[in-house]
Amino acid sequence: EAQVTQNPRYLITVTGKKLTVTCSQNMNHEYMSWYRQDPGLGLRQIYYSMNVEVTDKGDVPEGYKVSRKEKRNFPLILESPSPNQTSLYFCASRLAGLYNEQFFGPGTRLTVL
Amino acid sequence: GQQLNQSPQSMFIQEGEDVSMNCTSSSIFNTWLWYKQDPGEGPVLLIALYKAGELTSNGRLTAQFGITRKDSFLNISASIPSDVGIYFCAGGSYGGSQGNLIFGKGTKLSVKP
């Protein structure tokens, strides 16, 4: 089944404790991205990657890192999480080019205490 | 940067009623997408529009790509309880080599049986 998977689905952590949220897709998509969703603010793009070893900042990159060492994986790294990073995070992927459906993962709900 | 204004923010309707929501922008988009997000899930693509003036249906859903390329609307006819969720519009424009998707803030739909 074609899908985007994220792990963990739920995470409660404390300020300053490094964490990684994994994202994997099995559709051979070139383009992958991370969003955060907050009430009243909709979906905001954190980082995106056009292909392996090619990443770029989205609208709200501060406090986040990403890597794209393999085509299928695009982990999101929070080196020193803070409470304002408490949010619902979505990974997404699609084929290169504009006219292609973007698939979303099921989401990771992160709480930073 | 580009922004989308999606309205209304929320709707409370009776089962069987028709629903209409729209997105507007001061910028031109090359594609409009409509997504639905069920509670606890990631957004799922409902309808994709690729041409100004295009009117596309998917079951009880109908969406149109505005002739000015700055707006789009989504109609749901004869709503049912499973229509509950958050509906997002997304505008696609050419940016870099992959294009960008800009999301509206969502319309939260509640359907009373």
Closest among A102, A42, A108 to B107, alpha carbons compared: A42
The pLDDT score that the predictor gives to residue A40 is 83
Q: pLDDT tens digit string along B19-70?
A: 999 999 998 998 899 999 998 889 999 999 999 999 999 999 999 999 999 9
Nearest to B42 among A40, A90, A96 (CB): A90
> Is pLDDT above 70 for B99?
no
**Per-residue confidence band for B95, with pLDDT thresholds at 50, 70 and 90:** low
Decide: B32 and B41 in contact? Cβ < 8 Å.
no
Q: pLDDT tens digit string along A46-90?
A: 999 999 999 999 889 999 999 999 999 999 999 999 999 999 999
CA distance B39 to B46: 16
Decide: A77 and A22 in contact? Cβ < 8 Å.
no
Rounded to a whole number, what is the distance in Å from the CA of B92 to chain A's nearest CA? Answer: 7
How many other C-beta atoms lie within 10 A of the C-beta of residue A49? 21
Q: Which two tokens stand for residue A68?
A: 């794209």
Which residues have a Cβ under 8 Å from the Cβ of B32 and sit 6 or more positions away? B23, B48, B49, B63, B65, B72, B89, B90, B91, B92
Q: Which residue has the higher pLDDT, A61 or A99?
A: A61
> Is pLDDT above 80 for A45?
yes
Distance of CA A39 to the CA centre of its chain: 18
Q: pLDDT tens digit string along B24-37?
A: 999 899 889 999 99
Instruction: Calculate the alpha carbon distances from A87 to A16, A90, B87 in Å.
Output: 16, 10, 19
Nearest to A42 among B93, B97, B104 (CB): B104
The pLDDT score that the predictor gives to residue B97 is 45
CA distance A10 to A17: 16
For A49, name the nearest residue in chain B, comparing CA atoms only. B98
CA distance B26 to A29: 31
